[in-house]
Structure formats: C-alpha cells, structure tokens
Chains A and B, each alone.
Chain A
Amino acid sequence: EPEVTQTPSHQVTQMGQEVILRCVPISNHLYFYWYRQILGQKVEFLVSFYNNEISEKSEIFDDQFSVERPDGSNFTLKIRSTKLEDSAMYFCASRLDNSPLHFGNGTRLTVT
C-alpha cells in the first residue's frame, strides 16, 4: 500500500535556526497538508496546498513558515527561525480528492 514518507524522523535544532521538514506524499494525490501536534495536545492544522499554491492556512502558519513543492514528489515545510514553542510532532498528509487523509509517520522537532 502506498505511503506518505517523512524525513527526518527526529530533528533537534537550536532556537533561531532554520529547519526544513521533508515529505513525499502518495504519488497520485492532489492535496497536501501539514499538521502539528504538541505533546499531549490535539492535532492542529497548519496549511493545505493544492495546484501548486497554498489553499488555506491557520493562524499558526505565520511568516516564519513556508511550504514548497519543488518537484513532482517532495513537499517541504520550512520554519525560518525556530522558537521553543515550535517543538512538536509535524505530520504531513495527502489525499486524492474528497477522500480521507493519509498521514506520514511524522517528524519530531525539538527546539532547544
């Protein structure tokens, strides 16, 4: 069964540093998402991406965040200057059309 893959599985960075989280969505999917989950809290929407542009973003997704789909397969989330409160699990997800989301196994980001 095709999967969404994310790398790295764990990223440790210092406050103020830039990080790029990488995702390879399922190949024929059209809609791409980033969600995050702070430890012990609920899964929160960050951004959705369709047709090579952001279709929706949440209040969390401020100017420090950006997404790119640089080629036909990768979908990246960049945080320009990380803060302590950015520490969380970041989940990439994709779907074909009006179908359920398929999640990757997440990148655990630790900002020190």
Chain B
Amino acid sequence: RKEVEQDPGPFNVPEGATVAFNCTYSNSASQSFFWYRQDCRKEPKLLMSVYSSGNEDGRFTAQLNRASQYISLLIRDSKLSDSATYLCVVNPRGNEKLTFGTGTRLTIIP
C-alpha cells in the first residue's frame, strides 16, 4: 500500500458545484495532515491543516478519520480559481519529512 494515496482525477466540475476528494494513508501513527494546492509548474502552497475534529476555512472543509486512515477535502460553491492540483500531505512521525500524495487534478468548468 502506498504511503499516501489519492485519486489522480481529473475531476471536471461545473462552477458552483460541490466537490470532495479523499486521501488514504498507510502509517497509522501519522501525526499531522495537510492539504496543499499546486498550480501548474508552481510550488505547493498550504491550503489548510487537517485537525482531528475537522475544520473549516470558508468554502473549504477538511476532515480526518483516524480509524479508517483517510482525510477528506470538501470544496463548496466552487470557483474557476479553484482549478488546481490538490495534494494530500502526511507527516508520518512528527518533525521530519512530509510525504505527498500524487495529487488530484481539479478543473472547474464555467
């Protein structure tokens, strides 16, 4: 099983729709979880951290399910500017490397 696994997509979604991505991780002892977004040929940028109780930032909601070892990201009322690749990122042991999923490509269609 891959350390961090995501559906690569692409997801083509009409503007205004709601879209959800899932990500699974293999190391049950993983401590920190993040969603990053990456635009074409740019650096990854932090979208949001994922907390155990779930958290929301505007149109974005992140959830963590430790029992099933998955993380989700929900985008409501999607905008054209949400088109990007969304990277699931896991910190396996604390203060060391982050492990990236392959990313899920999202295109918002006008």
Contacts and interface: CB of A to CB of B under 8 A. Distances in A.
Interface string B28-70: 0001101000100111111001000000000000000000000
A98 B97 contact: no
Contact of A103 (B44, B96, B97, B99): B44
A102 to B, nearest CB: 7
- Chain A binding surface, main DSSP class: strand
A45 B34 contact: no
B11 interface: no
B77 to A, nearest CB: 25
Contacts of A100: 34, 46, 49
B97 to A, nearest CB: 5
Interface of B: 31-32, 34, 38, 41-46, 49, 87, 91, 94-103
